[in-house]
Structure formats: C-alpha cells, structure tokens
Amino acid sequence: QGRRPQPAAGSAPDLRPLTDEVVASFGNCADPRLRRLLTDLVRTLHAYTVRNDLTPAEWQRAIAFLTETGHITTDTRQEFILLSDTLGVSSVVDALANSRTPDTTSSAILGPFYVAGPPAAASGSDIAGGLPGTPLWADIRVTDRRGAPVADAVVDVWQSNEDGFYDVQLPDLDGPVLRARFTTDADGRLTFWSILPSAYPIPDDGPVGRMLAAVGRHPYRAPHVHFLITAPGHQPLITQLFVRGGAYLDGAPGQRDTVFGVKDDLVTDFVPHTGPTPDGRPVDGEWRLLA
Ligand code: MBD
Ligand code: FE
C-alpha cells in the first residue's frame, strides 16, 4: 500500500493530495511569478487529466504530438507557434497585451514567418522581386495616437506570394523577397510596390495540419500583409492589414481565418486602380493600399 488512500473499487481516486504535493514542491521557488505560473499550470493540467479520465495511451499520444510539433521541419520552423496560433492562444496573449490602449491601430499576431532584420528598401521601391501577381501600390502613413506623423519610424513589411508562400518556404528563391524594411519620411509616409496578397493555407503537412484535419477545420488565413513598426519613444506595433472583401474574413466559427487573427479595424480597402501610376509604370489591374 502506498501513502495515498485507495479508492473503493470502480470509483475515481481522489487526486487532490497528489496535486497539492506537486504544488507544495514549488515552495522554495525564489521567483514569485514563476511559482504562480507553475502552480496554476499543474493545477490546470491535473484537473484536465482527471476531468477527462485521460488514459495512458492518450497521454502518450499527446506527448508524441507535442514532440513532433517541436521538431524543425523543412523551412527551419517548428510548429509550436502554429499550434498556439490555431488554438487561439496567440490571439489571447495579443489581446491581453494590446487591447487596452485606445486610439491606436489594433495589433495582430506575429505569425511564424517574420525574419528579423529584413533588407532595407527605399520608399517607392518594389518588394515583389519580379514574382507574378496583381500589382499593388501601398501608400502608408504612420502617426502617433494624436494623429501626428511619426518620422523615421522603421517599418518592416512581409507577406506571401500569389500562391500563398513566404520566401522562406521557397527554397529556389535567392535572397529575401516580399519582405523589406522601410523608414518613414518627415510626413510619416512610406510607399512601395508589391503584389496583392491572397488567401492561403498555413503549412498543413505537419502535426498542426493533422490536428486541423481531425477536427474538420480548413487551414486558410484571410489575405494579409504584415507590419512591424518601431520608432524611438513609441511602443512597437506588430500588426497586419487584411484585404476588404477577401476570403475567410467572416463566417461561422471554423470558417473564418484559421488563426483567429482578424480584427475589424485592420480590414482595409485595397482599391482597384487604373490610370497613371505614381512612378509612371504601365500596369494592368493595379490595386492600391491606402492606409
Ligand atoms: C501566417 O502567415 C500567419 O501570419 C500566422 C499568424 C500564422 C500562420 C501563417
Ligand atoms: Fe502571415
């Protein structure tokens, strides 16, 4: 017989003493935040396990799933960020951190495809690197909370190509494309040429894709362009702009953006435009993003 009282045959054991013992084992932790987080994690995980009467086979399967999620796959990503995104945890963390500042453009989640230190590009240049797609002219102003222009803000931009792939997913490309670093001018402005983003499936050939398939969910994100904006004396802003009228912007649960990333004020007019272009380039069916 062990230290714990044995339950009557057939009834669920009382596991509270075990949970309490694990929690008490954190008693010497010098970092109060870590102690609190571990304590609540253990209580939550134990309660989850008990409530669902988890079997050893199920727990082994969960561990195998998480192990695979942590493995580096072809494009040097592991899938924990995708798992966090597709379970909505990234959006919860984002909302907790960023939903309490009024009068600002909403933030959005970072996603797995940001690469730190993208190549510097001059305002007005083309970031599409010759990739096919519908031409997009972006004209963007960065302002502070009172609407005053922010000069010398550093604006990192990244997006997928027409088929929904980011450059890091395309081994045949040499060098970064569809990602760049701009600096705003005295009016807080930056402009660039690109291509119109389209709806696209998040990588679904790994464990997260299997999870989505198992619950009957699609892997698509609403079409978007990512921005990370930093300026001295200002909080950084990580955000995305979504193409108004694009796919997966609304619908029933499970039919919208698969990472729960869309916020209404980030849905932006990408305006079809014909006529002379700002730099005189001949284009057919150009679109404009005025943000
Ligand atoms: C993406 O392109 C993305 O932006 C997010 C948040 C998750 C998966 C793929
Ligand atoms: Fe993205």
> 3-state class of 167 per DSSP?
helix
Q: Contact 199/221 with Cβ under 8 angstroms?
A: yes
β-pair partners for 206 = none
- Does 2 reside within a domain? no
**What is the model's pLDDT at position 5?**
61
Taking every pair of Cα atoms in the chain, the longest distance, rounded to a whole number of angstroms, is: 86
- Does 59 reside within a domain? no
Q: Which residues are catalytic?
A: 166, 200, 221, 224, 226
Q: In which band, very low, low, confident or very high, does the pLDDT at 171 lie, cut at 50, 70 and 90? A: confident
Burial class (CB in 10 A: 0-12, 13-18, 19+), 42: middle
- Does 270 reside within a domain? yes
159 pLDDT above the threshold of 90: yes
From 93, 107, 113, give the residue whose CB has the most ligand 1 atoms within 8 Å, as the site to mutate: 113
**What is the model's pLDDT at position 145?**
85
291 pLDDT above the threshold of 80: no
The DSSP code sequence of 212-224 is: HHHTT---EE--E
Predicted ipTM? 0.98
Q: Nearest CA to 45 among 288, 37, 84, 144? A: 37
Q: Which domain holds residue 37?
A: 16-54
The stretch 270-284 carries a mean pLDDT of 60
Instruction: Quote the tokens at residue 223.
Output: 């079409």
DSSP secondary structure letter of residue 289: E
CATH of the domain at 129: 2.60.130.10
Residues 112 and 47 in one domain: no
Instruction: Choose the most confident range, by mean pLDDT, from 12-16, 28-32, 243-247.
Output: 28-32
**Dist. CA 151 → ligand 2 center (Å):** 26
Total domain count for the chain?
A: 2
**Dist. CA 201 → ligand 1 center (Å):** 9
Rounded distance, CA 144 to CA 150, Å?
Answer: 6
Among 31-35, 193-197, 209-213, which stretch is predicted with the lowest mean pLDDT? 193-197
Residues 50 and 192 in one domain: no
- Does 244 reside within a domain? yes
Rounded distance, CA 179 to CA 160, Å?
Answer: 9
pLDDT digits (tens, 9 = 90+) for 240-253: 999 999 999 998 88
DSSP secondary structure letter of residue 242: E
- Does 220 reside within a domain? yes
For 24, 170, 187, 271, the CA distances from 288, given in Å and listed in that order, are: 59, 26, 19, 5
Among 11-20, 60-69, 168-177, 206-215, which stretch is predicted with the lowest mean pLDDT? 168-177
Compute how many other C-beta atoms are within 10 angstroms of the C-beta atom of residue 210: 13
Residues with CB under 6 A from ligand 1: 82, 85, 109, 111-113, 202, 221, 259, 261
Higher pLDDT, 163 or 76: 163
Q: Contact 154/181 with Cβ under 8 angstroms?
A: yes
pLDDT digits (tens, 9 = 90+) for 31-63: 999 999 999 999 999 999 999 999 999 999 999
Residues 224 and 107 in one domain: yes
Percent of the chain's residues with pLDDT above 90: 64
3 pLDDT above the threshold of 80: no
Rounded distance, CA 197 to CA 285, Å?
Answer: 14
Rounded distance, CA 88 to CA 82, Å?
Answer: 10
Provide the residue type at 180 as one letter: A
**What is the model's pLDDT at position 276?**
55
**Dist. CA 265 → ligand 2 center (Å):** 17
Residues 25 and 98 in one domain: no
Residues 93 and 213 in one domain: yes
Helix axis angle, 16-24 to 32-51, nearest 10°: 160
The dihedral sign for the CA sequence 96, 229, 161, 192: positive
Rounded distance, CA 257 to CA 247, Å?
Answer: 8
Q: In which band, very low, low, confident or very high, does the pLDDT at 273 lie, cut at 50, 70 and 90? A: low
Residues 224 and 180 in one domain: yes
